Amino acid sequence: MSTTPTVYDVAERSGVSIATVSRVYRTPDSVREKTRERVLAAARELGYVPSGNARGLASRSTGVLGLCFPDLSDPDTETEAAAADADDDHAFMLYSDQIIRGMERAARRHGYALLIAASLKGGPESLVAKVAGRVDGFAVLSRTVPTEDLDVISRRLPVVMLAGPRENDELDHLDHIEVANADGQRELTRHLVEDHGLRRLAFVGGEERSPDAQARFLGYREACRAAGLPVREEPDLRAEMMTQAEGARAADELLDRADAAGPPPDAMLFANDQMAIGALHALERRGVRVPDDIAVTGFDGIPLSRLVRPALTTVRQPMRQLGEEAVELLVRRLGAEREREPVDLMLPVSVVRRASCGCGRE
């Protein structure tokens, strides 16, 4: 128990060479059964586990894929009370959780494990760099890794960027998967206008620098234009964090504005479900009926969206699939298609019509 056993120990104990021990673990069939059993027995007795590091070093591969995602919550900020209270989080968390799930499953299918790390600051000794050195390929959620790091890393191993538009000019040699944000919002908007006959729309967006929120806004605008509705340059409101609280506030403000200056909107479109759900609460408090008085829509398709009353009409993002596709892409890059042109996938989204827009079924 003092020193962890190595191939040498196992070899000695079972009277074979280290090469044979190695073979027992890599290609068991290439070793005579009796020999193999002797080796395995010795390994068991010694408590031998092959060192992944040594294997990786010698074989130049790790059998691990990586994922870097944004660090959403400060690990130290959260008190126990806050944690208990933050059931709200659960829905939010699912964003990266789903990707993790998707990647894990696809990775497993291909015999890979998954290494995950929330992004930290960059720099030589960042977690990112550490991860990069320990995987055969990895996926990066938009804007979680400094461009410069990505540039260096991607020279050494395949990298696929997830969600968000292809941001940086210098990273156009990377594979990239995104979700059809604009398409989804456009189609959703079209639905409100054409199928429900709504015409006084209000759109609540996110930060200008949030590519997803921005793409959704653009989709909204396109639909407005196509429908001959007035087209604004800016969302009616923007929210920093796109939380429920902000959504509630936005709903209130839109209504207050209307009280002061004209008819209220007959539909509020939010750039994500969280805000839409917050708005639902705010409207309920004011006695405004959804969808009778006003339609409300979200974006994301988080589980919560199905459960609130009225159930939220939204656009479902295939996050799990995003994770799976990412792995497929990486695996391909690690195989035959090393040198293929950069891929650019756009995953289709689907409008989920529920009660909050006036559609019948829940």
Partner DNA sequence: TTGAAAGCGCTAACAG
Partner DNA sequence: CTGTTAGCGCTTTCAA
Site residue total, DNA (CB under 7 A):
32
Q: Is 349 in the site for its own copies (CB under 8 A)?
A: no
Report H helices in the chain. 7-14, 18-26, 33-46, 52-59, 80-85, 87-109, 127-132, 147-153, 181-190, 196, 211-227, 244-261, 273-286, 303-307, 319-334
Member of 17, 19, 41, 49 binding its own copies (CB under 8 A):
49
Residue 173 interacting partner from DNA, its own copies, none (CB closer than 5 to 8 Å by kind): none
> Which amino acid, 120?
L
Is the Cβ of residue 214 or residue 274 nearer to its own copies in the bound state? 274
Q: Interface mask (CB under 8 A) for its own copies, residues 1-40, using x and -?
A: x--xx------------------xxx-x-----------x
Q: Which residues from 233-292 bind DNA, rule CB under 7 A? A: none
Side by side, the strands of the sheet bearing 267-270 are: 237-238, 201-205, 267-270, 295-297
| Smallest separation (angstroms) from DNA to the CB of 7 | 3
Footprint on residues 142-171 left by its own copies (CB under 8 A): 148, 151-153, 155-157
Is it true that the peptide bond before 158 is cis, omega within 30 degrees of 0? no
At position 284, the amino acid (one-letter code) is E
Tell me how far the alpha carbon of residue 97 is from its chain's centroid: 7
Closest to DNA by CB, 31 or 279: 31
Closer of 54 and 231 to its own copies (Cβ)? 54
Binding mask of the shown chain, residues 266 to 305, with x at each position contacting its own copies by CB under 8 A? -------------------------------------xx-
Find out whether 190 and 205 touch, Cβ atoms under 8 Å. Answer: no
- Distance CA(354)–CA(362), nearest Å, equals 5
Q: What is the number of alpha carbons within 13 Å of residue 20 lying toward its C-beta?
A: 21
Output the CA torsion sign for 280, 284, 285, 287.
Answer: positive
Give the nearer residue to DNA in terms of CB position, either 32 or 121.
Answer: 32
Gap between the terminal Cα atoms of the chain: 61
Determine whether 88 is exposed, middle or buried from the number of CB atoms within 10 Å of its CB (0-12, 13-18, 19+).
middle
The residue (of 17 and 168) whose beta carbon lies closer to DNA is 17
273-286 vs 244-261: helix axis angle to the nearest 10?
A: 50
Q: Which of 181, 176, 162, 197 is nearest to 301 (CA)?
A: 181
Q: Which option in DNA, its own copies, none does residue 127 bind, with CB closer than 5 to 8 A by kind? A: its own copies
Q: Out of 29, 33, 87, 362, name the contact with its own copies by CB under 8 A.
A: 87
**Taking CB within 5 to 8 Å according to partner kind, which of its own copies, DNA, none is near residue 17?**
DNA
Which residues, numbered 93-122, are part of the site for its own copies (CB under 8 A)?
Answer: 93-94, 97, 100-101, 104-106, 108-109, 111, 113-118, 120
Between the CA atoms of 49, 333, 138 and 345, what dihedral angle is there, to the nearest 10 degrees? -140
Nearer to DNA, 156 or 225 (CB): 156
Measured CA to CA, the distance from residue 104 to residue 212 in angstroms comes to 24
Could you say which residues in the range 16-75 bind DNA, by CB under 7 A? 16-20, 22-23, 25-26, 29-32, 34-36, 48, 50-51, 53-55, 57-60
The interface partner of residue 35, options being its own copies, DNA, none and the CB cut-off 5 to 8 Å by kind, is DNA
Using the rule CB under 8 A, is 340 a contact of its own copies?
no
**Helix %, strand %, coil % for the chain, to 5?**
50, 15, 35
**40, interface contact from its own copies, DNA, none, CB < 5-8 Å by kind:** its own copies
Residue 341 in contact with its own copies, rule: CB under 8 A: no
Binding residues (CB under 7 A) for DNA: these are 3-4, 6-8, 15-20, 22-23, 25-26, 29-32, 34-36, 48, 50-51, 53-55, 57-60
